[in-house]
């Protein structure tokens, strides 16, 4: 089976290598000529130590070359760039085939989860073919073959099974879950809470504060997800709570590190430059706040993170404002 892999950042390159090692014919696509040239020269990926291009894996700057005659397309770009990439795929009149989205986010203004964005662009003929992969996973660890468990989903149960079969290895376990909306919301919203937890760490507030943020953050995630018809069991599973636990607890998470840098006095622009990679939570907090206001669902942590990034709210003042909120009976 030929796989056209779109996006060769740390997560994309890691997954592309995983599929290549499984014996699939993988052609990876990137818009970064320096990255493509460097990898073709045998150098390690800039964000993945000791990870180089497999001899039997191709990479290209030509999108059509990557998807031409592909039996499956896998996406690993960014939330902000996903629509444009699939518009390019549509331009080449690609006939329906399995399409797996692996980016985590919610599109700004439309409020769509990313698999829904792909469906809207590619058309209803792709409904039975669009899948989604999400869950607690760091590219650096997956690339090393460390045991990892995630979730495979789709708009149809057959697609969920396809995603699981495609990616499962002895060290990368993929569980099926047909609640694609819940899987997508869990994966997207936890990035916002991870920024908040990074801020908490940067201010030196300790483990107790972080535990409170994670728990109340999970409450926010569940409220919004259930309002969108998701199952709460999904939010309490790998793609929700599992991913939340991972990204809120480690500097390996770029969202967590972004929050930490903000608390250290860096501006959002400075923090983005230092991390060098996309911080999806900073994008998703905008779309999440738009959605929460539309649905009239209070999300104080999300709103606070938004104000810190986009309204110059001081992180210490932000914590004080959260602590001054009226106390209500805990309800999960």
43 belongs to the catalytic site: no
CA distance 291 to 63: 32
Q: Is 62 exposed, middle or buried (0-12, 13-18, 19+ CB in 10 A)?
A: exposed
CA-based R_g, the chain, Å: 19
Label residues 212-224 b or e (16+ Cβ within 10 Å = b). ebbebbbebbbbb
Out of 58, 104, 190, 223, pick the active-site residue: 190
CA distance 332 to 330: 7
- Cβ neighbours of 165 (radius 10 Å): 11
For residue 176, give both structure tokens: 């099926």
CA distance 76 to 29: 10
DSSP-derived pairing of the beta strands 25-29 and 130-134: unpaired
Contacts 24+ apart (CB under 8 A), 90-95: 90/121, 90/122, 90/123, 92/63, 92/64, 92/67, 92/68, 94/67, 94/70, 94/122
Please say whether the dihedral angle defined by the alpha carbons of residues 40, 8, 30 and 127, taken in this order, is positive or negative.
positive
Residues forming a β-bridge with 74 = 5, 100
Residues in the chain, total: 332
Residues forming a β-bridge with 59 = 28
Active-site residue set: 190
């Amino acid at each position: 089976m030929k796989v056209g892999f779109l996006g060769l950042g740390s997560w994309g390159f890691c997954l592309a290598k995983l599929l290549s090692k499984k014996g699939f014919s993988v052609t990876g696509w990137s818009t970064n000529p320096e990255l493509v040239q460097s990898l073709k020269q045998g150098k390690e990926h800039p964000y993945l130590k000791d990870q180089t291009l497999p001899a039997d894996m191709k990479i290209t700057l030509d999108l059509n070359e990557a998807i031409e005659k592909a039996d499956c397309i896998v996406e690993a770009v960014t939330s902000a760039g996903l629509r444009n990439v699939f518009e390019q795929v549509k331009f080449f009149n690609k006939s329906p085939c399995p399409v797996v989205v692996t980016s985590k986010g919610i599109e700004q203004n439309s409020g769509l989860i990313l698999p829904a964005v792909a469906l809207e662009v590619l058309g209803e003929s792709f409904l039975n073919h669009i899948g989604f992969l999400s869950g607690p996973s760091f590219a650096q660890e997956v690339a090393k073959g460390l045991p990892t468990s995630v979730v495979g989903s789709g708009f149809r149960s057959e697609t969920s099974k396809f995603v699981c079969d495609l990616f499962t290895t002895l060290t990368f376990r993929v569980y099926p879950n047909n609640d694609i909306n819940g899987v997508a919301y869990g994966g997207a919203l936890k990035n916002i809470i991870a920024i908040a937890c990074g801020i908490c760490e940067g201010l030196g507030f300790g483990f107790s504060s972080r535990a409170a943020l994670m728990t109340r953050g999970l409450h926010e995630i569940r409220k919004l997800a259930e309002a969108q018809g998701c199952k709460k069991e999904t939010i309490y599973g790998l793609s929700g709570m599992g991913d939340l636990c991972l990204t809120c607890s480690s500097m390996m998470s770029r969202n967590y590190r972004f929050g930490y840098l903000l608390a250290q006095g860096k501006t959002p622009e400075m923090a983005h430059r230092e991390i060098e990679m996309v911080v999806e939570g900073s994008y998703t907090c905008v779309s999440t706040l738009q959605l929460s206001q539309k649905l009239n669902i209070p999300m104080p942590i999300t709103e606070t993170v938004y104000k810190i990034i986009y309204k110059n709210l001081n992180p210490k003042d932000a914590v004080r404002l959260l602590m001054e909120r009226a106390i209500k009976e805990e309800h999960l």
